[in-house]
Structures are given as structure tokens and as C-alpha cells.
Chain A
């Protein structure tokens, strides 16, 4: 795929990981990631799979910029991220990365609308009215318009996960990262969430990287990266 990409003179990769190596030191020194290199194209829907303990979640958190304790290089959207300060990385995540976790992790005391608006309010690129309008657009697209003013903890699990997706989308990130985004949902809701991701990737603007255990989910992705004992299998 790498070769195909270069020969077709496709757009430059949105994410480039070079020789990523990471150790855990507790309870004893252990190499979780062994020299992992790969690239992700813009608009690609990528699944990271592997047995538990294979290092796939660890890899995702390194890619997410939240884990900075690694060796190797990480570049997203042409910006080199290795060696940057926590504050710079926080601002970078705000601008470029959206997160969807296994558990929705909404702020329960806030309304659905506010939860979606928070990252954009932090970014301060748009006015409050514009952010609100945009949040409504995303909620409408995800079929949650009627729930906008409810407290987020009053929604069902599937609805909350869709709110989390709306929140991940609010700043038009280059990449959406999911850590088992369907891991806590029934098959119907899993399907809904998968379809949303599928549509977003198909529209061509969003790149999606998701860690998953769900074979159906992985099977329908553009590409699957499998990890085993910290090594990338083809």
C-alpha cells in the first residue's frame, strides 16, 4: 500500500509514524512497541487490531500525542510532534484530533449541546453563535437534535456515544481516533456508530483510526493493521 501510494503520487500522508519504540517500566522493563513504522492517508478508515496486550491501545495513545514517553518520530498533517511540550500538544489535539472512547466520557453535568461545544469553545476560533449552530448541525446529522438541551447523563448508551462523536467532530479534526468506540454498545448501536465513521471517511475529509476487537468492524475498514507482541504484522 505504501508503494502504491508513492507511485500514484497521492496526497502526502496525514499521519506518519517512524520507528516507534516504547517500553513499560512497571512491574519490570518490557518492550510494548517494537520499531513500528507506517503511514495513513487522508480519508482512510483504519482499524488497529490484535490480541489484548499486543500493544494496539498503547500505539493509539502514542499516535494521539497524549503519551509522549516513546522513541521514534510522529508526524500528523505535516507537523512533527515528537519532543513538543504538553501545552503545545494539548493545543494540537484541540485543533487536529477528535477522540471517541469505549466509554463515552461525556461531562454528565452539562447539556448534550454544551458537551459538543466544549472543544470549540476552548479553540475560540469561531464565535459562540457559530459554534452553537455547528454543534446543532452535527447533532442533527447524528439524529440527536431533540436531545440537545438534555443533561448528557439522561441519554442512552448509544445516544451518548453519538454525542461523543459529535464532540469529536466539532473542530473539524484531521483525524478521529477511537479506542474501542463500539466496545460498549449492542450490535445495533455498533452498526450505527460504524456507519457514521464509514460515511465520514467516505466523504474524504476525515481520517479515522480505531482500535477494535470487533471483527465485523475491522473487516469493513479500508485497511487493518494487526499488532502482535509489539510488532506490526502485515
Chain B
């Protein structure tokens, strides 16, 4: 009947005898914690889905030949200030296109421990022409197998087979929207016009959908060898190197290490797409703000209920003190109650949070390659929610319990 220590036993009786109040307090915590779990799971699900989408066309690190420095004022470099010069219509010598020593750079990249995949590319701006229709876009010459490792192109194919591209120097794979705009079907011919005025016709062997409309509308893939032939470039020529690493969040260290050694622009995805990172950080802030607000409201609920209970029990507290219970015993009795409320509410809240997440995760959402609303199930979110819940209930219970501990039995008993 009474196996608990006496202070805990009193806390237990108070909790059970005011079951309705206890349940309301527990529900407050439950709601706060389940919202915390759900909001954070959902937001990180959204972030993950967005990253997955972004990395379907974006590599973690991108190496390319940046434009040369500003050369519009060369005179001041060669002559002392104040020199009067008359230069009209200056022309600059063509700088080297693309990346030199590609084999060495790729070999060096392969030695980096975190690098998981490397894809060399030749990217050029072209016109896609089908009879009268003309669309401006990017032609990407790719190492078919390497590209697939980075971006999983096989999964993006709507028609045709990605691997076919390696065997077909005359084959081209076009974005689904681009194909539509040019009224192209598989096995139709597509004419390419380069900026140098070279024109060549390829056969459409497949279409792809990346779910990024800017890409689907204006991109086509050719094998890298065929692209070099189109440009009359040597068999070492590339314009871009795309690199993926183990953890896409940890690009900084790699960039810092390899940038001084590679004489080209080394750019992480965060540098190139600050809006992606900003978006995901903002979503995290919203999730935490909303759920903490709910927890604080729950905390006020507990604070109120505990205060009410202490007012109701004020005579009993005075009697306990008369019988020899010290202030710290009384504090422990009421603190135990709020901690129990926090623990019970926390456990139920985690379960409810998981349940809500799972239900929402099954809501159909057919946008940008998703089938249902995205969701993550990260133990860290659950642990954090539980800890925040416990801290809130502890604080909410501590203040009233301190008040109870300070009750002067004489004034209460004498009335």
C-alpha cells in the first residue's frame, strides 16, 4: 500500500486525488512535446526533401574556370599615375577556356578522404533548334557513369536509358520541358548551334525530368567525347569538375584545403546557393520558436495548477510542518508532482508526436517528385523535446513549491 518514501507517497496521493487537474497538466506538456517533435520532424523532412531536390542537379563542390580579373584599365598598371593615355576600343586577348591539367586535378581530388564521387563536364551555351523553333540552353557533355554516381540521372529518366548515352556519340538526352517546347519525341532529330557557329544534328535517345523547371526547360546531355568533338577540343578538355563528399554539410574543410592548391574557382554549394541554407535555417528557427512557445504555455498551465493545489492544501501543508516535515520536504512533495507530470506528459508527448508525424507523412503531396509530405524520424528531436518538457515542468513546479516550503504553519493553523 505504501512502498514509496513518505514525501513521494504524499505527492502520489495528491496527484491521484486531483486526477482531473493532473490530466490537464499532463495534456499541456503532452501537447507541447508532441508539437515540438512534429514541427521539428516536419521541418527537417522539408529541408531534407529540398536538399535531395537541390542535389539532383547541384554537386557539393564545383570547380570551374572563373572569369578573369577586370582588365578594363590596364594603363594605370604600366604607367605612373597622371599619365594621359588615349586608348579606344580596347580588345583583350582570349583567356584560356576550361580547366588545364585535368588528369592531375582529378587524381588529387581522388586522394581526398571525404570525396565520394567526381564528375568532369564540358558545359557550353547553345541553341537547340528543331526547324523554326529555337531555344537557348545549356549542353552538358558528361562522363556518363560518373555523372550517374553524382546525380543519379538513371532515376530521372522519363524515356530512354541513361547508359545508352555512353554508347551513342550521336545520341542526346533532353529535358522533358525542352522536348515539349521543341515538339521532340524519342528518335527525332535535334539540331545544336554553338556560339562559334558550328551546327550539328543529334538523335534524341531519351528525356529526363529533374523537377527543377529551369533545368528541365533548358538542358540536354551529350557524352563528353561527343561534346569535345563538337567543340573541336582536345580529349582532355573540361570546363567543370563536380565533386560530392560524404557529408554535404561539411564542405568548408575540403574547400579550405584544396582551394589554395587548385588554380581554379572552388565553390561549395552553400556559397553558390546561400538561399537554400538560409531557407533551411529559417525553417528550423520557426519550428523551435513555435514548439517552445507551446511548451512555455504548458509551463504556465502547470504553474497555475500547482499554485491552485498549494492554496487548496495550505492547511495540510501547515499540519505537515507542525508534525515535523521541513520546508525542503514540502518543496520536494510539490516538485515531485510537477516532475511526474513532466515525465508522463513527455513520454505520451513523444508517442503522440511520432503518431502525428506518421499520419502527416502519409498525406499525399504530389509536387516536385514527392509522393507524400516529407518527414524525418530523428531520435535527437525526441530527446530534445523530452528534455525541454522536463525543464519547463521543473521550472513551473519549482516556483510554487518554494512558496509552499515557506508557508508559516502558525498563521495558517491559528487562522
Q: Does A233 contact B (CB under 8 A)?
A: no
A129 to chain B, nearest CB (A): 11
Q: Are B2 and A90 interface neighbours, CB within 8 A?
A: no
Q: Are A93 and B414 interface neighbours, CB within 8 A?
A: no
Tell me the count of chain A residues lying within 8 A, CB to CB, of chain B: 32
Main SS of chain A's interface residues?
A: helix
Q: Does A86 contact B (CB under 8 A)?
A: yes
Q: Are A93 and B324 interface neighbours, CB within 8 A?
A: yes
Q: Are A122 and B322 interface neighbours, CB within 8 A?
A: no
How does the 8 Å CB contact mask read for B304-327 relative to A, with 1 for contact and 0 for none?
Answer: 000000000001101111111111
Interface residues of A (CB under 8 A from B): 57, 61, 64, 66-67, 86-87, 90-95, 97, 99, 101, 105, 107, 109-111, 114, 117-119, 121-123, 128, 167, 171, 179
| Residues of chain A lying within 8 A (CB to CB) of residue B413 | 61, 66, 101, 105, 179
Q: Please, which residue of chain A has its CB at the minimum distance from the CB of B328?
A: A87
Q: A61-B414, A67-B410, A121-B6 are contacts. A87–B322 as well, Cβ < 8 Å? A: no
Cα A154 to Cα B281 with chains together (Å):
61
Cα A64 to Cα B328 with chains together (Å):
20
Task: Determine which of A57, A91, A93 lies in contact with B322 in the assembled complex, contact meaning CB atoms within 8 Å.
Answer: A93
List 25 A–B pairs whose Cβ atoms lie within 8 Å, in order of A's numbering.
A61-B410, A61-B413, A61-B414, A66-B321, A67-B410, A86-B327, A87-B327, A90-B327, A93-B322, A93-B323, A94-B323, A94-B325, A99-B322, A101-B413, A105-B319, A109-B14, A110-B13, A117-B2, A118-B323, A119-B323, A121-B2, A122-B6, A122-B323, A128-B2, A171-B324
Cα A179 to Cα B321 with chains together (Å):
16
| Residues of chain A lying within 8 A (CB to CB) of residue B14 | 109
Q: A57-B414, A66-B410, A109-B17 are contacts. A90–B321 as well, Cβ < 8 Å? A: yes
Q: Please, which residue of chain B has its CB at the minimum distance from the CB of A177?
A: B322
A190 to chain B, nearest CB (A): 20
How does the 8 Å CB contact mask read for B342-356 relative to A, with 1 for contact and 0 for none?
Answer: 000000000000000
Q: Does B169 contact A (CB under 8 A)?
A: no
Q: Please, which residue of chain B has its CB at the minimum distance from the CB of A149?
A: B1
B342 to chain A, nearest CB (A): 22
Q: Does B147 contact A (CB under 8 A)?
A: no
| Residues of chain B lying within 8 A (CB to CB) of residue A179 | 413
Q: Does B409 contact A (CB under 8 A)?
A: yes
| Residues of chain A lying within 8 A (CB to CB) of residue B143 | none
Q: Does B267 contact A (CB under 8 A)?
A: no
Q: Are A123 and B328 interface neighbours, CB within 8 A?
A: no
| Residues of chain B lying within 8 A (CB to CB) of residue A90 | 321, 324-327
| Residues of chain B lying within 8 A (CB to CB) of residue A123 | 324
| Residues of chain B lying within 8 A (CB to CB) of residue A57 | 414
A107 to chain B, nearest CB (A): 5
Cα A57 to Cα B2 with chains together (Å):
36
| Residues of chain A lying within 8 A (CB to CB) of residue B2 | 114, 117, 121, 128
| Residues of chain A lying within 8 A (CB to CB) of residue B321 | 66, 90
Cα A90 to Cα B325 with chains together (Å):
6
Q: A66-B322, A107-B13, A122-B329 are in contact. List 12 more A-B contacts (CB 8 A).
A: A64-B322, A86-B327, A90-B324, A90-B327, A105-B315, A107-B319, A111-B1, A118-B320, A119-B323, A121-B6, A122-B6, A122-B324
Task: Determine which of B316, B327, B409, B410 lies in contact with A107 in the assembled complex, contact meaning CB atoms within 8 Å.
Answer: B316
| Residues of chain A lying within 8 A (CB to CB) of residue B414 | 57, 61
Q: Are B323 and A87 interface neighbours, CB within 8 A?
A: no
| Residues of chain A lying within 8 A (CB to CB) of residue B318 | 105
Q: Please, which residue of chain B has its CB at the minimum distance from the CB of A62?
A: B410
| Residues of chain A lying within 8 A (CB to CB) of residue B328 | 87
Q: Are B324 and A119 interface neighbours, CB within 8 A?
A: yes
Q: Are B409 and A66 interface neighbours, CB within 8 A?
A: yes
Cα A131 to Cα B414 with chains together (Å):
30
| Residues of chain A lying within 8 A (CB to CB) of residue B325 | 90, 94, 122
| Residues of chain A lying within 8 A (CB to CB) of residue B409 | 66
How does the 8 Å CB contact mask read for B380-396 relative to A, with 1 for contact and 0 for none?
Answer: 00000000000000000
Q: Are A118 and B6 interface neighbours, CB within 8 A?
A: yes
